[in-house]
Amino acid sequence: MTRMLIIGPPGSGKGTQAERIVGELGIIAISTGDIFRANVKGETPLGLEAKKYMDNGDFVPDSVTNRMVRDRLAQSDVAEGFLLDGYPRTSSQVDELDDILGSAGVSLDIVLQLTADDEELVKRLLGRALETGRSDDTETVIRHRLDLYREQTEVVVSRYAERGILAKVDGLGEMDAVTARIMDAIKGA
């Protein structure tokens, strides 16, 4: 049974690697984006509340996000393990996740942090923008997103590093090589 987080800057290959990890380990992938979309689509009370913020382009407050994550982690399909992507993003969300897992008598096994050089990330994201036609992904916007990522996740990373469960993995290189480094980190946890 493996309970883990994956964090990394935009363009680090988190989504691709998350798919590979859950396939390899037979655990459930949980992303806050998917949780939000499912709740909004299902018109749950939390989904309707979140939609108000999302429609205005605002961040969904921790109080709503935390309740959605709590509900999702209470479902039976996560009993054999999970990979959580996009949560926690703040110190208070780290506390909430501790409470959620602690009330179930479990804790995280590992927090994977994919790392990559900013210049390589910018190159990747500009290439992806060209492929997908996302004209809003300019170099300025991408660099701003990278700065925001660092500001947001610094405290989360340091909290898990203090616990000794943070594994930094180089996200650059061939996809299979990155996956192999991740699996080595998981086995060493």
88 annotated to a ligand binding site: yes
| 150 is known as an active-site residue | no
CA distance 133 to 130: 5
pTM as predicted: 0.87
CA distance 175 to 57: 33
**Amino acid in the structure at residue 27:** I
pLDDT, one tens digit per residue, over 37-89 is 899 999 999 999 998 888 877 778 899 999 999 999 999 999 889 999 989 98
Domain ranges of the chain: 2-187
14 annotated to a ligand binding site: yes
Catalytic residue among 51, 67, 123, 145: 145
| 89 is known as an active-site residue | yes
What is the reported pLDDT for 136? 66
Phi/psi of residue 9, nearest 5 degrees: -70, 160
What's the CATH architecture for 2-187?
3-Layer(aba) Sandwich (3.40)
pLDDT greater than 70 at residue 135: no
Phi/psi of residue 129, nearest 5 degrees: -65, -40
CA distance 182 to 115: 11
Catalytic residue among 51, 123, 128, 143: 128
